[in-house]
Structure 1
Amino acid sequence: MMDTSSYLNAVVDQTSTFAEWVDGRDAAAPVPTCPKWTLADLVDHVGATHRMVAMLVGEQLSEPSKAFAAYVPAPADSAQWGLWMVEGAAAAKQAFESVADDTPVWDPSGAAAGVPFWSRRLFGEASVHRADAAAALNKRYELAPESAVAALEDWLDTMTSRGYWENRPDFAKAMRGDGQTLHFHATDAPGEWLARREQNRVALEHTHTEADVTLSGPAADLLLVISRRRKLDAAPDLELHGDPALLDRWIEHMDWVTD
């Protein structure tokens, strides 16, 4: 399992690659994996998130309004994007180095996860949004299996958290169930998850068991499919067993804002 320092080092590394890809590129370029976004929107989101989380953690905020109000948009000139991105990741890393893992900091999980939540969340953001940049700019996306497992853990744990359930009633309505189970299994690094749809939550366990539907294969492919960055039929190394409609419904609602 990665620790806070490892997560932030990886954020800096992935952001450096991201910054090289986007620096000086067409701000209006579409992002196929985020159909409502341009490349400028993607850069703005990633870089501004670094800065907001740096403020939340560095100033040990107990609620997020100050950090949200201090949102820093990306430079209008894409030739400044590279440096702006790198500076934001460095500021986030510095903020985490100034606190301990048990330092109280607000987070949206509903579990008071604080500093560890945000270190993992920034890593997950970097992993998924670099895939967005790769799709927009026709770059090859690579992520080591162990890192892909860590990003999957972030995605699944965040999307099934009590805070997400309570703050996204549309998601809760769609995901309520009577015990239907989905099993995700990485085959190139240790990583297994069982998601159980219950009436008042989605319960997430780390176990190997029979399920109503199982999706298995390389961790990076699992990440891209579950995060809606790649269609299942474009990931031939993944194997699907069980009820495909249950998986389709799950993936349909694996979004930060569902309609």
Structure 2
Amino acid sequence: MDTSAYVKAVVEQTSTFADGVHGRDAAAPVPTCPEWTLADLVDHVGGTQRMVAMLVGEQMTEPSRAFAGHVPGPADSGRWRAWLSDGAAQASQAFASVSDDAPVWDPSGGAAGVPFWSRRLFGEVCVHRADAAAALGMPYELAPELAVAAIEDWLETLTSRGYWENRHGFADAMRGDGQSLHFHATDAPGEWVARREPDMVALERAHTKADVAVRGPAAELLLVISRRRPLDAAPTLEVLGDRALLEHWIDHMDWVTNG
């Protein structure tokens, strides 16, 4: 997916998210983000989209002003749909105003800027839709091709140089000497191999032998690797090889409430 496709999907997924949460109990707990209520979740999704709209639209190379400009969501859940839709529209307008090579800060360490943020906002709203579904007892559905793109975002972000350098607990847990994990979506093209090295997690898009492989529908795979569904509660996934290695990986995906 390119930037424009990601942004289009952000608007669509935000609309689905907004329809689901609109008018619901703001104090409802979010079991997949244990410290959050539904209001916190809405605040995070809409506030992040507005922050990124500022970063991208103003081509910021330093983020502090955008962070300081966080806009909280309305206390009245009856206003959530409009507020969330407006945040997605602001982000869409910001991306439409710049080129992919515009200088924009991002935390990946790869100076990806505009493309990074379009992909990140997409991955954010897809995963947080799952949080809302868990909070409200609703089913979660995501087209396989979109789930593959969200997995791509999750794995790209967590194996980025910036994540490694700033998440010391993750880096300490993930240091290795070549242990490998293969993630394989079976209902849309998508395969990745993550290899634990002493100073990084190397990510490849490949079909190759690994110490452990997990394969199954893309949406289920997304929910498990993002810790939105326990591995034991995902019967459509098949695990081949060193299950403990996969469980160790999932246990240290600590990017839950701030994902």
- TM-score calculated relative to the size of structure 2: 0.97
The within-5 A match list for 1:19-168 is 19-168=18-167
SS in 1 for 2:42: helix
Q: Output aligned runs, 1:215-254, within 5 Å.
A: 215-254=214-253
Offset of residue 39 of structure 1: 0.3
Give 1:10's aligned residue. 9
- Return the alpha-carbon distance in structure 1 between the equivalents of residues 254 and 90 of structure 2: 27
Aligned length: 257
Q: Contact 1:8/1:119 (CA < 8 Å) preserved in 2?
A: yes
- Mapped to 2, the partners of 1:223 and 1:208 lie a distance apart of 18
Deviation (angstroms), 1:255: 2.3
CA–CA separation in structure 2 for the residues paired with 1:48 and 1:203: 31
Q: Does 1:182 align with 2:181?
A: yes
Unpaired runs of 5+ residues, structure 2, are none
Distance 1:173 1:257 in 2: 18
Q: Deviations over 1:53-103 (max 9, x none)?
A: 000000000010010010001111111111100000000000000001111
Cα distance in 2 between the residues matched to 1:215 and 1:17 = 29
SS in 2 for 1:151: helix
Structure 1 ranges of 4+ moved more than 4 A: none
Indicate the RMSD between aligned Cα atoms, in angstroms.
Answer: 1.0
Q: CA deviation at 1:36?
A: 1.1
Alpha-carbon distance between aligned partners in 2 of 1:166 and 1:257, rounded to the nearest angstrom: 18
Q: Which amino acid aligns with 1:207?
A: A
Residue 178 of structure 2 is aligned to residue 173 of structure 1: no
Q: Aligned-pair distance for 1:157?
A: 0.5
Letter in 2 for 1:201: M
Scaled by the length of structure 1, the TM-score of the pair is: 0.97
State the AA in 1 paired with 2:99: A
| CA contact 1:227–1:255 (8 Å) conserved in 2 | no
